[in-house]
Amino acid sequence: MPKPRLFIEPTTLWDYPSQNYGRDGAQGDKDYAGATPSYIIWNLLSRYTSKGQLVVDPMCGSGTTLDVARDLERRALGYDIHPYRKGIFRADARKLPLEDAKADFVFVDPPYGDNIRYSDEKECIGRLPVTEEAYFQAMEKVISEISRVLRSGRYMGLYVADYHSVKNGFVPVGFRLFEILRNYFTPVDIIAVVRHNKTLKMGNYRRAAVEGNFFLRGFNYLFIMRKGKGKKGGG
């Protein structure tokens, strides 16, 4: 089946049914747990960057951001506490080996629950339950670091979902992170991205949600922010 065409999204509801765009190869690895849909990064870089500008991803995962940046002729640096492939540098997102105000755009798709085991690294934020404050304290350090490396007047995007489990209930991860982001950046917009997780279509999951009177996560937030004056990050 051919991939749907790429286009600049004109609204705040994004729905693209494929993990990857393009016919000549994938961006990142669709089998990587929690892989970012590449069309999201394509839209962000198409809107907020130009050829030759530097894009940074401090939680690079399988390298989707690097591949999209290459397709669009942007420079890119990817970091991860547990690099998945060559070209991704080992670093904790809370302390990046990058000088101040070097990035033209930063994209981050952080973990938002400890249900996926990203690595055995002791300092991996993915091992922190979002039901505990330690997760949000760690993420504030990440957001502060993003502000440090981003140039004044430039943009960043954070892609995340809320959390729910039968045992622990609901945690509004998106709202909590948005409030932290506002301490460092000026909000530009909030996008809702439709999730195409295969479990959403499975009858047993849907039945359990109805019978248990809870909701499956049907969308992710995409927070678009701008670094400006008057915030902790300065500018």
- Mean per-residue pLDDT, 125-154: 96
Strand partners, 89: 79
Nearest to 39 by CA among 26, 52, 50: 26
Reading the block at residue 49, the tokens are 């960057």
4-58 per-position pLDDT tens digit: 889 999 999 999 988 888 666 688 887 777 789 999 999 999 999 999 999 999 9
Task: Give 3's pLDDT tier (boundaries 50, 70, 90).
Answer: confident
Do 219 and 160 contact (CB within 8 A), yes or no?
A: no
- Residue 194 CA, distance from chain mean position: 14
Nearest to 59 by CA among 15, 25, 92: 92
For the chain, the average pLDDT equals 90
Task: Give 231's pLDDT tier (boundaries 50, 70, 90).
Answer: low
CATH 3.40.50.150 fits 26-226, yes or no: yes
Q: Does 199 score more than 80 pLDDT?
A: no
Single pTM value for the model:
0.92
Between vectors from CA 57 to CA 55 and to CA 62, what angle results, nearest 5°? 120
